[in-house]
Amino acid sequence: MFARSLPRLAVSLFLGSFAVCTAARACTIPVFRYALDRWESDRFRLLLPQETAAQPTMVDLLRPLRAGGRANLDIQTDRAGRVTVPTLYFPGHETTPVWSGRMDAPALAALLDSPAREEIRRHILSGSSVIWVLVDAATPAEDATAERIRRRLAFLEQAAALPIQDPNDPDSQLGPGPPLKLQFQTLRLRLGDPAEGPLLAMLAGPEKRVDASKPFAAAVFGRGRVLGSWPLSALDDAALEDACMFLIGRCSCRVKNQNPGWDILMEVDWEGRLRQASQGAVTSATVSASAPAAAPPPPAPPALPEVTRIQPPESPPAAEASSRRPWLVGAGAAVLLLALVLWLRPS
């Protein structure tokens, strides 16, 4: 019994350790949206051997990135002889390499972006709360696990709710971006996918909480931030719910480094893309409001209540009334004449 509760306990302790922060009070913005609005992506470090950095082809290759590129990446030359090949490091982790190898245009492109990162970015800019990336070998058992996770997330979408937003709170104003909504997505990747090698290493994290060669899951939100990664077998319904509820709950800590997680390397202009997403949302709302509404069908004529007509009594025919008048006149005259004779008769 205790062993079965360990995954949820681990997630709860992992998230609970960040609950006490320096913010004076919680704003009403959910964690996932606060991160998207306000947390700039941490910068990875690409360290080049001095002789590699001096090559003209390498100078030309890296010039666009050095001149204000959109990727969260710093490029440095190793003058101390610490590396013999180009090496990419996690932000703030000088001894944890993400990748190392020969640097050329295809290798650089694979470091900066990939099909899965493009899909993650699309979901984020459409307003998804969190993208659960499931990395496995597509065995029947893992297919069943992925389906269970999808069903659970669908249930949580219906059962959970975002914090009520206070439009009068100056600390709870949303930045430009997609409409605020509650939506959970899943993205399934294959273990050992060569196109996603750097991403899989980033999802596993700088502290190697999971073995990237074995099935695992990672929750991505904000501007490509990973909340955490867990062995796929340990992500039961309760642990999944705890992580989701943390991300859609009020942001109690506004300091990025005091919240759990780490960033992945992505080549994207977040400020520009969020403005576009915001304009797209406004345009859609405007078009929807200004579009002529379909003319309603003409109302059916009201059904008249059945009325029972009461017929007045029929008047006697005119001919019959005329035939009765002479008789009435004669009878009246006779009565008057009899009364006059009786009155004149001597007593």
Residue 224 lies in a domain: yes
Task: Report the alpha-carbon distance of residue 276 to residue 260 in Å, rounded.
Answer: 28
Domain count across the chain: 1
Residue 162 lies in a domain: yes
- Residue 184 pLDDT more than 80? yes
Residue 344 lies in a domain: no
Residue 287 lies in a domain: no
pLDDT tens digit sequence for 192-205? 999 999 999 999 99
Residue 191 lies in a domain: yes
- Residue 157 pLDDT more than 90? yes
Residue 277 has what pLDDT? 92
Percentage of the chain exceeding pLDDT 90: 62
Residue 148 lies in a domain: yes
Residue 13 lies in a domain: yes
Lowest mean pLDDT: which of 76-90, 92-106, 286-300? 286-300
If pLDDT is split at 50, 70 and 90, which confidence band does 33 have? very high
Q: DSSP states of 271-314 as a string?
A: HHHHHHHHHHHHHHHHHHHHSPPPPPPPPPPPPPPP--PPPPPP
Listed residue (26, 10, 203, 253) closest to 98, CA to CA: 203
- Residue 253 pLDDT more than 50? yes
Q: Who wins on pLDDT, 127 or 325?
A: 127
Give the domain range for residue 271. 2-42+114-280
If pLDDT is split at 50, 70 and 90, which confidence band does 171 have? confident
Residue 80 lies in a domain: no
- Residue 270 pLDDT more than 70? yes
